[in-house]
Chain A
Amino acid sequence: NAGVIQTPRHKVTGKGQEATLWCEPISGHSAVFWYRQTIVQGLEFLTYFRNQAPIDDSGMPKERFSAQMPNQSHSTLKIQSTQPQDSAVYLCASSPTGKDTQYFGPGTRLLVL
């Protein structure tokens, strides 16, 4: 079991550029969650999918952030017009049913210059 896979592990973008982050959940898990971690704000929920359907995106900044899950083996988080305040570690987690323990990937460290 490879665990949750996230790519890239590190990404540096210039202000105003687009960033796309990828997540491959654990095989057989039906739910995928996205979180963001910073020193100041800690770990914050962004959005989640169950059986590829969006369930809750209440944590997503509305204007520049979007997430998709086109198939059961991967999800993407896209940030348009990145800003320095978007710099964070973006963590993807999956769980078997969405109503149980979540297992985190290694994260993508995003730095916006």
Chain B
Amino acid sequence: QQKVQQSPESLIVPEGGMASLNCTSSDRNVDYFWWYRQHSGKSPKMLMSIFSNGEKEEGRFTVHLNKASLHTSLHIRDSQPSDSALYLCAAASSGSWQLIFGSGTQLTVMP
């Protein structure tokens, strides 16, 4: 069983629309979450990190974290075709800094 679950597996949104991606960890030891974006044929690039309960906003991207439920979500407003990519959620605990990745959400933004 995957320790980091992402949903949905794939998502199609129109250009200018809102994309909402979800991620939950089943490991109670997890303390830290990252969202990485991976364009086709490229390596993952860190998009946002969140370590505390609440919300964090950077431009068109907003992440939420609920540490009690170990759930994080990524919201992309005014989605652009260039946002089309695989979005990976990664989690780590302070006891082991290896990243545990979910299987990703494939986002397609239609012009």
Contacts and interface: CB of A to CB of B under 8 A. Distances in A.
Contacts of B97: 31, 48, 55-56, 95, 98-99
Given A101-B34, A104-B45, A105-B43, A42 B104 contact: yes
Given A59-B98, A98-B97, A99-B94, A43 B34 contact: no
A103 interface: yes
Nearest to A31: B97
A102 B88 CA distance: 13
A92 B6 CA distance: 23
Residues of B contacting A: mostly: strand
Q: How large is the interface on B (under 10, 10 to 19, 20 to 34, 35 or more residues)?
A: 10 to 19
B90 to A, nearest CB: 8
A105 B45 CA distance: 9
A1 to B, nearest CB: 14
Given A56-B96, A99-B94, A101-B34, A43 B46 contact: no
A33 interface: yes
B42 A33 contact: no
Interface of B: 34, 36, 42-46, 49, 88, 94, 96-104
15 contacts: A33-B98, A35-B99, A42-B103, A43-B44, A45-B99, A48-B98, A58-B98, A91-B44, A93-B99, A99-B94, A101-B46, A103-B46, A104-B43, A106-B42, A106-B43
